[in-house]
Amino acid sequence: MVIFVKNLALIMTFFKNLLAAILGCLVAFGIIFFIFFLFMALLGSGSDTVEVKSKSVLEIQLQAPVSDYVGSDTEDPFAILIDPSMGLDQILNAIEVAKNDSKIEGISLNNVFSIAGFAQTQEIRRALKDFKESGKFVYAFGDFYMQKDYYLASVADSIFINPVGMMDFKGLASEVLFYKDLQEKTGIKMEVIRHGKYKSAVEPYLSNEMSDANRTQIKELITSLWQSMVTDIAEGRNISAKNLNVIADTLGARNSEYALKSGIVDGVVFLDEYENKLKNATGIALDKKLNTIELEDYLLNSNTKMKTSGANKIAVIYAQGEILYGEGSPNTIGQGIINKAIRKAKNDDKVKAIVLRVDSPGGSALTSDIIWRELELAKKEKPLVVSMGNVAASGGYYIAAGAHKIFAEPTTITGSIGVFGTVPNMAELAEDIGINAEQVGTNKNSVDYSLFEPMNETFRATIQESIEETYTTFLSRVKEGRNMNSLAEVDSMAQGRVWSGVDAKRIGLVDELGSLDDAIAEAARMAEIKDYGIRKYPKYKSGLERLLEDLPGASAAIKQNLIEEEIGTEAYSILKEFKSATEQKGIQARMPFALDIK
């Protein structure tokens, strides 16, 4: 009987494992068939040429995230499954193509709820302004306007708002969360070593309130950004900067009635009435259908029409995201992918100059220096120009510092020349819950740190020494790259402090205020070429390749999305910040705080 029970148990285990294997195969085959049919469906839908009808209006909404560069073909059916972002380079090119497209009569900014950054928004706004110079119109409509959306809309010939719509126009603000009390209550804290009085990325772990130095830099930063926005809005709306600030201070545009009286908008209309205005502007009878084409569709046509061409090339290398040690990805900067792109551009005889487009809050100091070195080698061969996007701070500035010339947008956030290190520690929690860690080592310092023991002074002193050495190296890179007189001069504008593009130009951290196109034009001038094409780097894998690689992590991404939906974006951002802090490895040259400007 005992033998029978044992055999039965073995048989049951066998069938259990067999069933699991069968289910696993069915799931795998299901995924493969799903991908195949999805591929065929998307391939079929993407193969048709998008028709642009006569007297069409290009409709721009920008409700997908905007990256400087997505690195994938708009006809790639799997690209959107991996990354729904739109490329700023594609958006700007589409507006330029529409400017010269006889079938496009104008552009409609229809309920733009932009996820683009301030500098990206400024570049798109500039492109729309250039579009208007062709004699075509730009109209804007919103059920409500957030500040960044209105800033973009302010370039329009006419701005309209829903009769029951609202407007957020009150000036910029930034909020920083502090976690010192939370650390004390949980017994889990971040041990911090830093250099730079403004290097406040770690301040939330050390204090319950904002330091005067941090408050000063945030105040000056957002004031400079706001002034740049107000200057552009004043020009676009023919309202003085002084009056715009009065409107902001009094919330004088908070609803449609006040917005109209203040001159912030031109009309209060419903969407159907707005569409009639578009018909009038395009010369279409009111009883006829308005021809519109969405930006996402227009990209399929515009991406085949580049603004410049020629045998000579200018390489544009996009460095976007956090700087992490390793290969890198479309959303992170690693020395692997970026340095490979730099070497390709350097060794290509057709490439006459290199433009590095930086949009990064920084990260690993080691990786930043590895990339800096590769750029130093490249600039000995060819002109090197940097274009700064939304953020080019700390490690992002580190890799930019050696360029022959640096361009930034007025609303770019840059600088933050400083370094820090954070080490998680849960000694207090371990003591509270009864965990005791004992270490055994062969030498005096072989056991230098334990998560479950307080940080000893020898380990802290060693890390502090590395921080100081890295900071001095950072200063020297900037001194050499920017041709400054001394390390003391660099230190006076460093200490981890962030600057707007306007202030960075004033103190000499950047050379010119301008767009990516301005940087490319300067690179062409330095290379002494007039007719040229653009080669974009890095070259990423196709959407299908990335989808197959990411299948094991797909469920994790879905879980993250579900968590964000359940607890809200703000709470989720706090969780992400904690996760990022605990995963940081090595000394960091990173933005001094999680900048949330509203």
Name which residue leads in pLDDT, 488 or 189.
488
Is the pLDDT confidence value at 47 over 50?
A: no
DSSP state of 329: B
Amino acid at position 172, single letter: L
Mean pLDDT for 163-169 is 95
Q: Average model confidence (pLDDT) for the chain?
A: 84
Name which residue leads in pLDDT, 43 or 181.
181
> What confidence score (pLDDT) does residue 402 get?
97
Is the pLDDT confidence value at 229 over 80?
A: yes
Q: Could you give the residue numbers annotated as active site?
A: 199, 394
Give the C-alpha separation, 246 to 230, whole Å: 12
Name which residue leads in pLDDT, 534 or 449.
534
> What confidence score (pLDDT) does residue 108 get?
97
Give the position of tokens 């080490």. Answer: 423
pTM > 0.85:
no
> What confidence score (pLDDT) does residue 521 get?
96
> What confidence score (pLDDT) does residue 114 get?
85
Name which residue leads in pLDDT, 191 or 577.
191
Query: How do the domains of the chain map onto residue ranges?
Result: 56-302, 314-540+585-590
Give the pLDDT band (50/70/90) at residue 34.
low
402: CB partners within 8 A, 6+ apart: 372, 375, 376, 379, 384, 477, 480, 481
Which of these CATH numbers, 3.60.15.10, 1.10.3720.10, 3.90.226.10, 3.40.30.10, describes 314-540+585-590?
3.90.226.10
> What confidence score (pLDDT) does residue 432 get?
84
Mean pLDDT for 448-460 is 84
Is the pLDDT confidence value at 571 over 60?
A: no
Q: Do residues 526 and 353 make contact, with C-beta atoms less than 8 angstroms apart?
A: yes
Give the pLDDT band (50/70/90) at residue 533.
very high
Phi, psi dihedral angles at 499 (to 5 degrees): -135, 150
Tens of pLDDT along 121-159?
A: 999 999 999 999 999 999 999 999 999 999 999 999 999
> What confidence score (pLDDT) does residue 132 get?
96
Task: Let me know how long the chain is.
Answer: 598
> What confidence score (pLDDT) does residue 435 get?
85
Three-class SS state of 419: strand
Mean pLDDT for 281-293 is 93
Q: Percentage of the chain surpassing pLDDT 70?
A: 78
Q: Percentage of the chain surpassing pLDDT 90?
A: 56
Q: For 56-302, which CATH class?
A: alpha beta
406: CB partners within 8 A, 6+ apart: 385, 386, 388, 400, 509, 510, 511, 512
User: Which 3-state string (H, E, C) describes 340-404?
Assistant: HHHHHHHHCCCEEEEEEEEEECEEEHHHHHHHHHHHHHHHCCCCEEEEEEEEEECHHHHCCCCCC
From residue 319, alpha-carbon distances to 72, 114, 402, 536 in Å are 15, 22, 15, 11
On the 0-12 / 13-18 / 19+ scale of CB atoms within 10 A, 48 is exposed
Is the pLDDT confidence value at 534 over 90?
A: yes
Q: Tokens in use for 382?
A: 């060819």
Give the C-alpha separation, 429 to 419, whole Å: 28
Tens of pLDDT along 49-99?
A: 578 899 999 999 988 889 999 876 544 555 455 556 789 999 999 999 999
Name which residue leads in pLDDT, 596 or 375.
375
Mean pLDDT for 274-300 is 93
| Residue 66 backbone class (left: φ over 0; alpha: ψ -120 to 50; beta: rest) | beta
Tens of pLDDT along 401-423?
A: 999 999 999 999 999 898 888 78
Tens of pLDDT along 350-361?
A: 999 999 999 999
Q: Do domains 56-302 and 314-540+585-590 have the same CATH topology?
A: yes
Which is it for the CA torsion 14, 20, 26, 29, positive or negative? negative
Name which residue leads in pLDDT, 175 or 401.
401
Give the pLDDT band (50/70/90) at residue 8.
very low
Terminal C-alpha separation, the chain: 74
